Amino acid sequence: MTAWITATFRTPVAPRGGALAGLHAHDLAAPLIGPCLVAGGIDAEQVDELILSNVLGEGGNPARLTALAAGLPERVAGLTIDRQCAGGLDAILLAAALVNSGQAEAVLAGGAESYSRRPLRLRTDPAGGAPVAYDQARFTPWPDRDPDMAEAAAALADRLGISRAEQEAWAVASHAKALAARERLRPEIIPLAGLDHDAFTRRLTAATAARAGSVAGSITAATAAVAADGAALCLVVSDRLMRKAPRGLRILGGVTLGARPEEPGLAPVPAIAACLEKAGAKTDQIAQAEIMEAYAVQAMACVSGAGLDPARVNPNGGALARGHPVGASGAILATRLFHDLSGGIGLAAIAAAGGIGSALLLQG
């Protein structure tokens, strides 16, 4: 069987503490399910599973909460995954695997993240001492190979000789493209909490970017994606159900690979290469690429390392202009491709902490 995406929608993305701050992960994701089913031409009774990426939530099983909140049949158990930033894309790859293997015919897959509602984290002391607060989980067993993400991005910029000014230029262009595309983005966005567009997108100028304070080395607040709230879901279906849909993109393939943990920003490069090889495709066949912009330097390094045409990358802006709802960001890339791609091959790729890269190929 062949897996297809026949519908996909997302919420607006808002910085933490903003318009979506009062919503939990399931509150963000559930309103997307009805529009996906209507656009895909199926009803709730035909849904076999819901796979939801969530990184910062309260635990439990947010996918199950989402399924119940959206009125899906109670037999839809819901599967929550956490592969950090790559999770939203990996949820789609898991859905495709279920469909390709004949285990399911209709799977809702994506991610939801409420950075605003994330719990405080405390590490208990087995000796009975006071709990210690922490922010970033461990991503490797070795402290010297487990860098802070911003510091890793700064080290990557230094190693590749990508200047602060070059990173700022990328960020300015991301915002400019997103502002110019605001009306074109509306069909993919389901308004929520009175918001119908990405709240962070602004008229970032070179002068404003130059004034931004350093986060780590050449990485600044202007060249790092803001922590955010948001969700995105795709409807992944079989050939049979695809024939009932007005439109569909074929999932040509996808790959998730581990790479050097201390340099997570470059992890998508081998994943992209493996994904293209597996599908028998070449970089010059890619009509559009949606590459995650957790940091400007990370996106720039992946575009160069994978040999992509910069003119075909993030044509309507990227995460620097949206924000980064961690578990949902990969699914947002797929949503962007679905709504833009009118023919040819589309690529979505994202890096994750611990040195993980995921890539997905869609065909229009």
Positions annotated as catalytic residues are 85, 324
| Polymer length of the chain | 364
Beta strands of the chain (E only): which ranges?
4-10, 14-15, 49-53, 79-81, 106-114, 122-123, 132-133, 214-216, 219-220, 228-237, 249-258, 286-291, 345-352, 356-363
CA 119 – CA 316 distance, rounded (Å): 33
Token pair of 111, please? Answer: 């991610």
CA dist 285 and 252 (Å) reads 13
Cα distances (Å, whole numbers) of residue 186 to 129, 182, 292, 312: 52, 7, 20, 21
Closest by Cα among 94, 101, 109, 107 to 2: 101
For the chain, the distance separating the N- and C-terminal CA atoms, rounded to the nearest angstrom, is 17
Asked whether 344 and 364 are in contact (CB, 8 A), the reply is yes
CA 186 to chain centre: 18
Q: Shortest CA distance to 247 belongs to which of 97, 9, 41? A: 41
Distance, C-alpha 330 to centroid of its chain: 2
Are 60 and 26 in contact by the 8 Å Cβ rule? The answer is no
Question: Which DSSP state fits 227?
Answer: B
Tokens read off for 213: 């304070």
For residue 363, which amino acid is it?
Q
Are 74 and 205 spatial neighbours (Cβ–Cβ below 8 Å)?
no
